[in-house]
Amino acid sequence: SYVNHLTFPLVTRHKKNHLIWIFKGAMRTDVLLMSPWLAPIMWEGTFNRDILNAQYRQKNFVVGVATFAVKKYVRFIEGFLGSANKFFLSGHRVNFYLFTDHPEKVPSMKLAPEKSLVIIPVQNYSRWQDISMNRMDIISNHIRTHWRYEVDYLYSMDIDVQMFEHIGVEIIDTLVGTISSWQYTKPRDSNSYERRPESRAAIPSGEGDFYYAASFYGGSVSEVYKLTTACFKGVTEDRANGIEAKWHEESHLNKYLLYHKPTRLLSPEYYWDEELIRPRIIRVKRLSSVRKDLKEVRF
Ligand code: 5GW
Ligand code: MN
């Protein structure tokens, strides 16, 4: 084909009245490329990383990554940071903010010159649900006191993950959610939203567009502030009412993102659950959960 960056033919072929759209051989017809509210969904083979990098570099943004390693989860720090140093926004400025109750156990690692690590001591909580639930509160407080002066974009990530392929500037946007890899396996209505109306995370039956993973979300600092503040408010009100949402803070995140639509979505390439068999539509596994013995790591 004659396609180059200057001349993108939008329609290259007419076939039985169907228009077929091609962007430099990068067409994907096997997956959803845009949400009904016109937010792009990032999949391998739908964008050109060189163009995106060149655009992004002009802005001189700083991206923050908030991650937690409390109690036994300190064992995941090395795998997370080692792989993120290599694959997360490679060549761009990133500050990793690691909240931990064991600062002395953080391995000393040499990071790329444009990457830095900030260790932030944090108390541990007795109930495991509280560790992940309180992430929202800690993030929202830290935005108010620090991040709004330090970074342009902020992403929250689980620590029990490893990256295997580039996660680049295609993730940068105002409000970004990652579609759960479990959504691929199930039709929309059997998914895991909180449906009990007593919970502040409740989504009425029949409603819901995507099911988002709490393991990876982000956006501009001000949007992530609104999100984490709202979600933690929901968590607090549920606590006061003696109810806990089905999937904890993930349920509250899903409620929030239903009514505040993300401006960009990441496909399950960006958080692949290792429990699942990878289907053909997942051409690359950029990031996936580290298999963990739940009994061993949580208690
Ligand atoms: C411990 C027991 C059960 C659930 C969470 C924890 C736990 C989570 C912990 O003991 N220490 C900790 O630092 N966390 C943080 O919360 C980690 O950053 C972790 O990635 C995040 C979410 O918890 P996960 O990864 O166990 O949740 P799933 O849904 O990925 O299994
Ligand atoms: Mn996890």
pLDDT (tens digit, 9 = 90+) per residue, 218-231? 999 999 999 999 99
Give me the pLDDT at residue 43, please: 96
Banded model confidence at residue 299, pLDDT cuts 50, 70, 90: low
**Active-site annotation, residues:** 250
Annotated binding residues for UDP-N-acetyl-alpha-D-galactosamine: 68-70, 73, 158-160
Q: What is the mean pLDDT of the chain?
A: 89
Would you say the CB of residue 291 lies under 6 angstroms from ligand 1? no
Please report the beta strands in 3-141, taking only residues with DSSP state E, as ranges in sequence order: 11-15, 18-21, 41-42, 63-69, 94-100, 115-121
| In the predicted structure, residue 188 carries a pLDDT above the cut 70 | no
Task: Give the number of the atom of ligand 1 that is nearest the alpha carbon of residue 72.
Answer: 10
With the C-alpha atoms ordered 37, 42, 47, 53, is the resulting torsion angle positive or negative? Answer: positive
Q: What is the best residue among 105, 119, 131, 247 to mutate for testing ligand 1's pocket, by most ligand atoms within 8 Å of CB?
A: 131
* Residue 6 included in any domain: no
Whether residue 182 has its Cβ less than 6 Å from ligand 1: no
Question: Ligand 1, closest atom to CA 247?
Answer: 29
> Which ligand 1 atom is the nearest neighbour of the CA of 135?
16
pLDDT tens-digit series, residues 7-20 = 455 555 555 444 44
Residue 138, domain member (yes or no) = yes
Q: Residue 139's domain spans which residues? A: 16-298
pLDDT value at residue 29: 86
The pLDDT of 270-294, averaged and rounded, is 90
The owner of tokens 């390439």 is 269
Q: How confident is the model at residue 183 (pLDDT cuts 50, 70, 90)?
A: confident
In a domain, 266, yes or no: yes
Q: Which of 13-17, 124-128, 191-195 has the highest mean pLDDT?
A: 191-195
Structure tokens belonging to residue 31: 């997956």
Burial class of residue 161 (count of CB atoms within 10 Å of its CB; 0-12, 13-18, 19+): buried
Instruction: Report pTM.
Output: 0.91
Give the pLDDT score at 124.
75
> Is 49 part of any domain?
yes
Which tokens hold the place of 294?
Answer: 């739940």
In a domain, residue 10? The reply is no
Domains: count for the chain: 1
Q: Give yes or no for a contact between 183 and 211, defined as CB atoms under 8 angstroms apart.
A: yes
Q: How far is the CA of 20 from the centre of ligand 1 (A)?
A: 44
Provide the CATH number for the domain around residue 227: 3.90.550.10
CA of residue 160 to ligand 1 center, whole Å: 7
Comparing 143 with 209, the larger pLDDT belongs to: 143
Residues annotated within a binding site: 68-70, 73, 158-160, 250, 273
Q: Kindly state whether residue 282 falls inside one of the protein's structural domains.
A: yes
CA separation for the pair 54, 98 (Å, rounded) = 29
Task: Note the pLDDT of residue 258.
Answer: 97
Residue 2 belongs to a domain: no
Residue 118 confidence (pLDDT) above 90: yes
Q: Where are the beta strands (DSSP E) in the chain?
A: 11-15, 18-21, 41-42, 63-69, 94-100, 115-121, 153-157, 161-163, 175-179, 212-220, 264-266, 287-289
- With a 6 Å cutoff on the Cβ, whether 69 touches ligand 1 is yes
Structure confidence at residue 96 as a pLDDT band (50, 70, 90): very high
